[in-house]
């Protein structure tokens, strides 16, 4: 963290370093988030599903094949196999993972799930699919807290499924990494230390995340509430992550769950064409100039609390 802040003191060197990093990031996204489905079996209090206006659907293999073809030999580090939905609801999830891993063996594949549907068959399939990491979202250490947040899910079942997956992974000597996540917010804050202690002996990594307001749709429930109230740097996401929806359309940001800003469709264009296209460049320039008010989606976003201590934020801090 100290090193990240120290980057502000390098004076004239910052401009050259900024240019170098921006040019490198413009070549191709480091991360692609691929929405397998936008259907979900939960109704969580921190998720704006009741405002979803997009048609519910599952990704087709044509979109998967096109993405693989576009990404072969490119500097893509990771694919997140989820978007605005529960990926385990896709009936061909194992086939999809296998197809991507065959085409892009060096790309890390990451799945995040609520684990409600993680039965033995799916667990065995996932552990043998080529997936690199499975993250399970478990907000709470008590039934009351968890089921008050992740509505329509069963606390005991989710915990049992998660622990069984870990045990199965260990028995099979699989290299799949398994992590768990809790959001630190007003209703979970007291349970965070207990959660961290309980799962640190089981999972490879325990993540404690900030609360995201979904571009101002929800009031801030972070504990404590951050003293920052706006971006003092360009958001790094437009230079890092591409959002591919189940129908192949590309949204500007992962917070744009209704795809109010569509940059193109990978069925009609290549990933590189969209990533380096005029629409994306215009939005990036507004970020560089701090003109967030001109992008309604970005003007009320609190994503800065996730990025404020990063090297990127300090390098571009205005």
Per-residue pLDDT tens digits for 233-283? 999 999 999 999 999 999 999 999 999 999 999 999 999 999 999 999 999
Mean pLDDT over the full length of the chain: 94
The answer to whether the pTM exceeds 0.75 is: yes
Residues 6+ apart with CB under 8 A from 163: 202
| Alpha-carbon span 284 to 286, nearest angstrom | 5
Task: Collect all residues with Cβ–Cβ distance below 8 Å to 28 and sequence separation of at least 6.
Answer: 71, 74, 75, 76, 271, 272, 275
Q: How far is Cα 111 from Cα 134, in angstroms, rounded to an integer? A: 5
Distance between CA atoms of residues 249 and 26, nearest Å: 19
- pLDDT over 90 (residue 2): no
Continuous segment of H or E residues that includes residue 34: strand 31-34
Average pLDDT over residues 44-49: 96
Distance CA 131, CA 278 (A): 34
Quickly tell me which residue has 């129908």 as its tokens.
247
Cβ neighbour number for residue 195 with a 10 Å cutoff: 22
Q: Is the pLDDT of residue 6 over 90?
A: no
pLDDT value of position 10 = 64
Model confidence at 211, pLDDT cuts 50, 70, 90, reads very high
3-state secondary structure of 22: helix
Q: 174: pLDDT confidence band, cut at 50, 70 and 90?
A: very high
Please give the backbone phi and psi of residue 316, each rounded to the nearest 5 degrees, phi first.
Answer: -100, 5
Give every CB contact of residue 110 below 8 A, 6+ residues apart in sequence. Answer: 78, 79, 80, 81, 131, 132, 133, 134, 135
Give phi and psi for 281, each to the nearest 5. Answer: -65, -40
Q: Which two tokens stand for residue 215?
A: 């571009």
Confidence check: pLDDT of 45 > 60: yes
Q: Is 312 helix (H, G, I), strand (E, B) or coil?
A: helix
């Amino acid at each position: 963290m100290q090193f990240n802040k120290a980057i502000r003191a390098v004076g004239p060197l910052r401009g050259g370093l900024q240019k170098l990093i921006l040019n490198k990031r413009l070549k191709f996204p480091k991360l692609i988030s691929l929405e397998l489905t936008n259907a979900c079996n939960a109704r969580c209090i921190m998720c704006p599903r009741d405002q979803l206006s997009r048609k519910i659907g599952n990704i087709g293999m044509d979109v998967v094949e096109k993405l693989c073809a576009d990404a072969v030999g490119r500097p893509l580090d990771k694919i997140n196999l989820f978007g605005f939905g529960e990926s385990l609801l896709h009936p061909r999830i194992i086939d999809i993972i296998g197809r991507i891993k065959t085409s892009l063996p060096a790309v890390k594949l990451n799945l995040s799930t609520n684990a409600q549907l993680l039965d033995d068959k799916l667990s065995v399939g996932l552990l043998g699919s080529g997936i690199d990491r499975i993250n399970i979202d478990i907000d709470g250490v008590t039934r009351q807290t968890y089921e008050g947040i992740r509505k329509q899910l069963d606390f005991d079942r989710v915990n049992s499924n998660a622990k069984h997956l870990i045990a199965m992974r260990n028995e099979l000597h699989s290299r799949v990494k398994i992590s768990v996540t809790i959001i630190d917010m007003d209703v979970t804050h007291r349970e965070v230390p207990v959660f961290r202690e309980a799962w640190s002996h089981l999972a490879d990594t325990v993540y404690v995340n900030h609360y995201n307001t979904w571009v101002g749709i929800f009031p801030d429930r972070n504990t404590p509430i951050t003293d920052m109230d706006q971006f003092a740097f360009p958001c790094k996401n437009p230079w890092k992550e591409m959002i591919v929806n189940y129908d192949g359309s590309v949204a500007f940001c992962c917070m744009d769950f209704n795809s109010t800003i569509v940059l193109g469709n990978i069925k009609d264009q290549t990933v590189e064409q969209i990533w380096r296209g005029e629409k994306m460049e215009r939005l990036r320039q507004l970020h560089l100039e701090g003109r967030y008010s001109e992008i309604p989606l970005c003007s009320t976003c609190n994503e800065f609390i996730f990025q404020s201590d990063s090297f990127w934020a300090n390098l571009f801090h205005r």
